[in-house]
């Protein structure tokens, strides 16, 4: 039976409205219609009688899939210090990647920090965490990593696709990424493994969380897989302290609640219900989690005492074993400016060095003139340097360096190398007791000679790539690149606070040390066996777990986000199964 015009129009309108509400941009089965309301923390009622089965601290890469999964059976409160990623162009569009990282406002989704090594870095401050500010590349951990950490392979193999079906795509490979693919193969980083999420030696194209329009899907989208009736999400909720019940009679101090402030600075408390399995789960990231444990009284007692923090549990390992995979990059000026791309291709060498690339800087209309995108000097602009070091001399030197750069240095791309599993490690300590401020982090890049050897190997691999026909064709005269020239340009384009040396282009060791930057894969600080047990329960207390990159002693895969999101889902399912057995139904 044909419908009359009125109802047809009504249904068309309804369908349109539903389309508008569906932010999933191309993902067919999964939509965001089920997202729980994202409320500001100030909406939390004072004297709130509600209690929760789980309080998840940090709505990031691990925290979102974890909270969504737990909410399928239990009441969950998710507390995120940042705002919403939805409607923020710097988060949502790939072309604004570097603008987002440059935003130094107090509510910016990216909070800059400088390690004591002098390397400028960033940590997420937004619902969705690192997936809202990262370069989007998606690649799973190796099977040997999964075995080493002792995960149940069957559940891992179900948890990866759970993420992938919702937010991961295959890239339409950009010309610069295709050039790297061919260059890697011609330079012997073989075989070509095609498009794959798997971690396999050779060259491959991985997944991405950007869709074909450059729109970013994030871990926040995964909240739509939860039960909105069980999941309360608060934004701008900065947790200052975990509250413990240390009364006598308890074998161990028990985490029972949290203290947080809202966007107006007002204090609130939230508590677990009194069921014995209820838990607080910290997913505040590799900087935020050790920081919060320290602020809550778990850590080396002398350090806690020096900040007048009452000691709940002495544990000398909190904040120890922090590591950041060093990244060094080579700038390659090209005849014509390549299209913008972040990371799509990777070369996985047997020596534990990964080769990736980025290209095309500042092509958005909102962009900064003369911008280096992923490796940008602006990302490390002077405003991020602590005021004491922001001397007139430093500012003048910076400006002069920039003026002296030939125009062509803004036409081109970077090939970068990352060292897997660095043996150089460091530590994190509090500088003060304000959770909004960065703790002091030291990574000790290249303090272990093996890391330096691998960096040199990586640069030599890039040199081989530059000598291939594929790359010679890209040079201004078609005759290829002089290594001395590209090293020299790379030193000039580099911004960290490490003094440069005159022999940077002669000694690759010196080049590595002087131009080291971050690929933002820092991890550690709450290692298994030292701070948490095999199930990520914090040792020496009850009712408290950690689920995020701080438990890793090595960053998974070529790039970690795939495995961190998977781990959020995996741990959610594990916890449900522990409590409910078969009745968990997941
Ligand atoms: P996060 O995702 O950072 O989550 C922590 C969350 O906790 C944040 O949302 C934070 O705001 C919140 N939080 C912290 N403290 C508190 C508190 N006290 N109270 C309440 N909330 C709190 N990986 C890839 O695989 N591919 C890439 O291309 C890639 N590129 C990157 C580029 C950049 C610029 C960055 C920064 C990272 C990149 N990474 C990439 C790394 C990857 O994104 C991170 O390793 C991963 O997101 C870390 O996840 P996490 O859950 O440990 O922490």
Is pLDDT above 60 for 380? Answer: no
d(C-alpha 150, C-alpha 261), whole Å: 37
Is the Cβ atom of 549 under 6 angstroms away from ligand 1?
yes
Q: What is the mean pLDDT of residues 246-263?
A: 90
Which pLDDT band, with edges at 50, 70 and 90, does 7 fall under? very low
Higher pLDDT, 217 or 496: 217
Is pLDDT above 50 for 21? Answer: no
> For ligand 1, what atom is nearest to the CA of residue 548?
52
Strand partners, 252: none
Which pLDDT score is estimated for 402? Answer: 55
d(C-alpha 245, C-alpha 479), whole Å: 71
CA 285 to ligand 1 centroid distance, Å? 6
d(C-alpha 451, C-alpha 465), whole Å: 21
C-beta neighbour count of 13 within 10 angstroms: 10
Question: Is 208 strand, coil or helix?
Answer: strand
Is the Cβ atom of 64 under 6 angstroms away from ligand 1?
no
Is pLDDT above 70 for 375? Answer: no
The answer to whether the peptide bond before residue 202 is cis (omega within 30 degrees of 0) is no
> What are the distances in angstroms from CA 414 to CA 204, 486, 541, 577?
18, 10, 47, 46
For domain 34-584, the CATH class is alpha beta
Is pLDDT above 50 for 465? Answer: yes
Q: How, if at all, do strands 326-333 and 412-419 pair?
A: antiparallel
Which residue among 77, 123, 124, 240 is best mutated to probe the pocket of ligand 1, counting the most ligand atoms within 8 A of its Cβ?
A: 124
Q: For the chain, give the mean pLDDT.
A: 89
Which pLDDT band, with edges at 50, 70 and 90, does 496 fall under? confident
d(C-alpha 480, C-alpha 414), whole Å: 15
* Cβ(62)–Cβ(218) below 8 Å: no
Is the Cβ atom of 218 under 6 angstroms away from ligand 1?
no
Strand partners, 280: 55, 544
The structure tokens listed for 552 are 């890793």
Q: What is the mean pLDDT of residues 510-537?
A: 97
Which pLDDT score is estimated for 337? Answer: 83
Residue of 521, 523, 527, 535 marked active site: 521
The dihedral sign for the CA sequence 555, 560, 565, 567: negative
CA 556 to ligand 1 centroid distance, Å? 14
- The tens digit of pLDDT for each residue in 409-460 reads 567 889 999 999 999 999 999 999 999 999 999 999 999 999 999 999 999 9
Instruction: For ligand 1, atom 18, name the residue with the nearest CA.
Output: 239
Is the Cβ atom of 559 under 6 angstroms away from ligand 1?
yes
Is pLDDT above 50 for 12? Answer: no
d(C-alpha 501, C-alpha 206), whole Å: 36
> For ligand 1, what atom is nearest to the CA of residue 135?
28
Is pLDDT above 50 for 3? Answer: no
* Cβ(257)–Cβ(55) below 8 Å: yes
Which pLDDT score is estimated for 89? Answer: 93
Instruction: For ligand 1, atom 32, name the residue with the nearest CA.
Output: 134
- The tens digit of pLDDT for each residue in 534-583 reads 999 999 999 999 999 999 999 999 999 999 999 999 999 999 999 999 88
Radius of gyration of the chain (CA): 24
**Percentage above 90 pLDDT, the chain:** 74
> What are the distances in angstroms from CA 363 to CA 50, 165, 179, 338?
49, 30, 20, 10
**Percentage above 70 pLDDT, the chain:** 86
The structure tokens listed for 441 are 């982090």
* Cβ(243)–Cβ(507) below 8 Å: no
The dihedral sign for the CA sequence 57, 60, 66, 69: positive
521 is catalytic: yes
Which pLDDT band, with edges at 50, 70 and 90, does 46 fall under? confident
Q: What is the mean pLDDT of residues 283-309?
A: 98
Q: What is the mean pLDDT of residues 351-358?
A: 97
Among 60-69, 93-102, 263-272, 320-329, whose mean pLDDT is lowest? 93-102
Q: Is 549 assigned a ligand-binding role in the annotation?
A: yes
d(C-alpha 295, C-alpha 292), whole Å: 5
> For ligand 1, what atom is nearest to the CA of residue 558?
25
d(C-alpha 292, C-alpha 268), whole Å: 16
d(C-alpha 128, C-alpha 281), whole Å: 16
Which residue among 129, 140, 290 is best mutated to probe the pocket of ligand 1, counting the most ligand atoms within 8 A of its Cβ?
A: 129
Is pLDDT above 90 for 248? Answer: no
**Which residue has 């990574």 as its token pair?**
443
Is pLDDT above 90 for 265? Answer: yes
Is the Cβ atom of 522 under 6 angstroms away from ligand 1?
no
Which pLDDT score is estimated for 431? Answer: 96
Q: How, if at all, do strands 298-299 and 544-546 pair?
A: unpaired
- The tens digit of pLDDT for each residue in 139-153 reads 999 999 999 999 999
CA 125 to ligand 1 centroid distance, Å? 8
* Cβ(319)–Cβ(296) below 8 Å: no
d(C-alpha 552, C-alpha 567), whole Å: 11
Is the Cβ atom of 122 under 6 angstroms away from ligand 1?
yes
- The tens digit of pLDDT for each residue in 185-214 reads 999 999 999 999 999 999 999 999 999 999
Is the Cβ atom of 380 under 6 angstroms away from ligand 1?
no
Closest CA to 500 of 118, 15, 18, 23: 118
Burial 108-120 (b: 16+ CB within 10 A, else e): bbbbbbbbebebb
Which pLDDT score is estimated for 269? Answer: 96
Which pLDDT score is estimated for 162? Answer: 98
> For ligand 1, what atom is nearest to the CA of residue 560?
25
Which pLDDT band, with edges at 50, 70 and 90, does 249 fall under? low
Q: Is 350 assigned a ligand-binding role in the annotation?
A: no
Q: Is 81 assigned a ligand-binding role in the annotation?
A: yes
d(C-alpha 463, C-alpha 481), whole Å: 9
Q: Residue 378: how many CA atoms within 13 Å on its side-chain side?
A: 19
Is the Cβ atom of 343 under 6 angstroms away from ligand 1?
yes
Q: What is the DSSP string of 289-334?
A: HHHHHHHTTEE-HHHHHHTTPPPSEE-TTTTEEEB--EEEEEEEE-
Q: What is the mean pLDDT of residues 130-147?
A: 98
Helix axes 508-515, 449-466, angle to 10 degrees: 100
Q: Is 521 assigned a ligand-binding role in the annotation?
A: yes
Which pLDDT score is estimated for 411? Answer: 75
Q: Residue 560: how many CA atoms within 13 Å on its side-chain side?
A: 28
Higher pLDDT, 513 or 397: 513
Among 55-59, 260-264, 481-485, whose mean pLDDT is lowest? 481-485
Is pLDDT above 70 for 388? Answer: no
- The tens digit of pLDDT for each residue in 58-112 reads 999 999 999 999 999 999 999 999 999 999 999 999 988 888 887 888 999 999 9
């Amino acid at each position: 039976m044909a419908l009359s015009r009125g109802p047809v129009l009504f249904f068309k309108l309804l369908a349109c409205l539903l389309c508008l509400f569906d932010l999933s941009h191309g993902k067919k089965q999964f939509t965001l219609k089920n997202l729980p309301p994202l409320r500001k923390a100030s909406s939390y009622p004072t004297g709130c009688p509600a209690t929760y089965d789980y309080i998840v601290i940090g709505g990031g890469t691990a925290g979102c899939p974890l909270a969504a999964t737990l909410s399928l059976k239990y009441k969950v409160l998710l507390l995120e210090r940042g705002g919403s990623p939805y409607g923020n162009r710097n988060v949502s569009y790939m072309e604004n990647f570097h603008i987002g990282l440059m935003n130094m406002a107090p509510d910016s989704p990216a909070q800059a920090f400088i390690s004591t090594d002098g390397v400028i870095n960033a940590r997420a401050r937004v619902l969705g965490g690192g997936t809202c500010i990262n370069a989007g590349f998606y690649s799973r951990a190796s099977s040997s990593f999964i075995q080493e950490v002792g995960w149940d392979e069957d559940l891992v193999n179900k948890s990866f696709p759970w993420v992938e079906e919702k937010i991961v795509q295959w890239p339409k490979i950009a010309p610069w990424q295709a050039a790297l693919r061919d260059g890697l193969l011609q330079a012997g980083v073989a075989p070509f493994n095609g498009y794959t999420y798997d971690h396999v030696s050779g060259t491959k194209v991985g997944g991405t969380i950007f869709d074909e329009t450059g729109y970013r899907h994030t871990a926040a989208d995964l909240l739509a897989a939860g039960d909105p009736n069980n999941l309360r999400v608060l934004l701008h909720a900065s947790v200052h302290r975990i509250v413990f019940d240390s009364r006598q009679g308890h074998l161990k101090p028990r985490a029972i609640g949290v203290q947080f402030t809202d966007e107006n600075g007002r204090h609130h408390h939230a508590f677990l219900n009194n069921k014995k399995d209820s838990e607080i789960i910290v997913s505040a990231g590799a900087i935020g989690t050790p920081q919060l444990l320290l602020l809550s009284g778990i850590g080396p007692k002398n350090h806690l005492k020096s900040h007048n923090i009452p000691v709940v549990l002495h544990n000398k390992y909190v904040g120890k074993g922090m590591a950041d995979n060093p990244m060094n990059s080579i700038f390659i000026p090209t005849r014509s400016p390549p299209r913008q791309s972040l990371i799509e291709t990777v070369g996985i060498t047997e020596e534990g060095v990964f080769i990736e690339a980025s290209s095309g800087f500042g092509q958005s209309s909102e962009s900064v003139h003369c911008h280096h995108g992923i490796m940008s000097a602006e990302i490390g602009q002077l405003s991020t340097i602590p005021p004491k070091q922001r001397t007139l001399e430093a500012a003048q030197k910076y400006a002069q360096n920039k003026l002296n750069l030939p125009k062509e240095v803004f036409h081109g791309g970077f090939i970068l190398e990352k060292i897997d599993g660095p043996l150089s490690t460091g530590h994190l300590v509090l500088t003060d007791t304000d959770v909004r401020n960065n703790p002091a982090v030291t990574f000790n890049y290249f303090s272990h000679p093996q890391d330096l050897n691998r960096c040199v190997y990586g640069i030599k691999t890039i040199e081989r790539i530059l000598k291939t026909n594929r790359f010679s064709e890209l040079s201004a005269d078609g005759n290829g690149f002089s290594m001395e020239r590209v090293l020299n340009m790379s030193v000039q384009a580099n911004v960290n606070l490490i003094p440069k040396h005159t022999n940077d282009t002669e000694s690759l060791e010196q080049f590595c040390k002087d131009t080291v930057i971050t690929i933002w894969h820092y991890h550690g600080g709450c290692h298994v066996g030292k701070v948490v047990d095999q199930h990520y329960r914090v040792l020496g207390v009850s009712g408290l777990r950690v689920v995020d990159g701080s438990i890793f002693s090595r960053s998974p895969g070529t790039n970690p986000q795939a495995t961190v999101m998977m781990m959020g889902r995996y741990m959610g399912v594990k916890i449900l199964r522990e409590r409910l057995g078969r009745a968990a139904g997941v």
